[in-house]
């Protein structure tokens, strides 16, 4: 990449903006771009820097870059510029292989609270490659050694950035829980979990409902948070919450793999489990509906 391209890539990464790097890796015959040519493409399909060919070749690369960003997967595509009908629409007389690699910022795990559940959540989040932020007056570096950010103000909405790439877990069991819940909903967090008993969960949700939060929005909240693992200790509760986040992120359904293999082998329809219950909710949260 040229110096300008490297600089632009660095700026996008610092701003936590997802983008794709498209690189011409092979050409055959006559092509305008040569091996090594690169371009940076954003989630809207716009070329932010660089060049990998003009006309329909660029259009095809931009379209595929959007798909790679949406799926989070790299891919090599072959552009056929020999055939105006079956290829990409520009009979230049060549073929071009383009490798497209998405660059997606780390998702953020925002833990609101302290104690062993919060500490274990932060540690597991670190090992799962989340950018971990902990917000609580009692949060200290010795208790959260791997957290990227510690926020010690009691309620600091401005410091806690919530976006669709944020997973929020509320562990405080504090009178401000409903305020954090509304903050997470307003930011369209991809996951919102409330660590509380069923009774307290209902109280917090009812309060938010009375404050004008729509029932559709509240369906985005896991309250109580976590999968049913029969968890009894703080560490096990944290594991159940991280398990739920991973299941939703990866499209898992929370069933034992042995049971899934047995059901898939006999041709029966697999139970949708967690995904059936939460799939539509995830779509609503991500779209901001």
With b meaning 16 or more CB within 10 Å and e meaning fewer, what string describes 235-256? bebbbbbbbbbebbeeebbbbe
**E strands, 159-234, in order:** 166-170, 191-194, 221-222
Whether residue 174 sits in one domain with residue 145: yes
**Residue 220 included in any domain:** yes
- Structural domain of 82: 3-103
Q: What is the pLDDT of residues 128-162, one digit of tens each?
A: 999 999 998 889 999 999 999 999 876 655 667 88
**Residue 268 included in any domain:** no
Look at residue 282 and tell me whether its pLDDT is greater than 60.
Answer: no
Q: What is the pLDDT of residues 115-124, one digit of tens each?
A: 999 999 999 9
CA-based nearest residue to 139, from 118, 166, 110: 118
> pTM above 0.85?
no
Whether residue 75 sits in one domain with residue 189: no
Whether residue 145 sits in one domain with residue 97: no
Q: What is the pLDDT of residue 93?
A: 61
Q: What is the CATH number of the domain that holds 277?
A: 3.40.50.720
Whether residue 278 sits in one domain with residue 147: yes
Look at residue 287 and tell me whether its pLDDT is greater than 50.
Answer: no
Number of structural domains found in the chain? 2
């Amino acid at each position: 990449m040229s110096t300008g391209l490297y600089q632009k890539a660095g700026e996008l990464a610092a701003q936590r903006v997802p983008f794709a790097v498209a690189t011409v890796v092979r050409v055959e015959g006559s092509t305008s771009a040569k091996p090594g040519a690169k371009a940076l493409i954003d989630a809207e399909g716009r070329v932010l820097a660089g060049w990998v060919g003009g006309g329909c070749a660029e259009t095809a690369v931009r379209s595929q870059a959007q798909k790679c960003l949406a799926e989070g997967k790299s891919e090599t595509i072959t552009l056929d510029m020999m055939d105006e009908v079956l290829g990409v629409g520009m009979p230049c007389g060549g073929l071009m292989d383009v490798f497209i690699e998405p660059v997606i910022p780390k998702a953020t795990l925002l833990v609101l609270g302290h104690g062993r559940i919060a500490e274990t959540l932060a540690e597991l989040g670190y090992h799962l490659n989340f950018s971990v932020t902990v917000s609580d007056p009692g949060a200290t570096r010795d208790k959260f050694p791997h957290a990227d950010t510690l926020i010690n103000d009691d309620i600091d909405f401005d410091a806690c950035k919530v976006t669709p790439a944020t997973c929020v877990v509320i562990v405080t069991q504090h009178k401000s829980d409903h305020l954090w819940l509304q903050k997470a909903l307003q930011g369209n967090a991809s996951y919102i979990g409330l660590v509380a008993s069923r009774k307290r969960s209902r109280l917090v949700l009812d309060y938010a409902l009375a404050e004008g939060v729509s029932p559709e929005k509240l369906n985005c909240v896991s309250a109580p948070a976590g999968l049913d693992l029969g968890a009894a200790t703080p560490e096990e509760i944290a594991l159940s919450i991280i398990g739920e986040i991973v299941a939703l992120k990866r499209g898992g359904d929370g069933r034992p793999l042995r049971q899934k293999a047995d059901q898939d082998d006999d041709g029966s329809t697999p139970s949708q489990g967690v995904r059936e219950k939460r799939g539509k909710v995830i779509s609503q949260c991500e779209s901001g509906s």
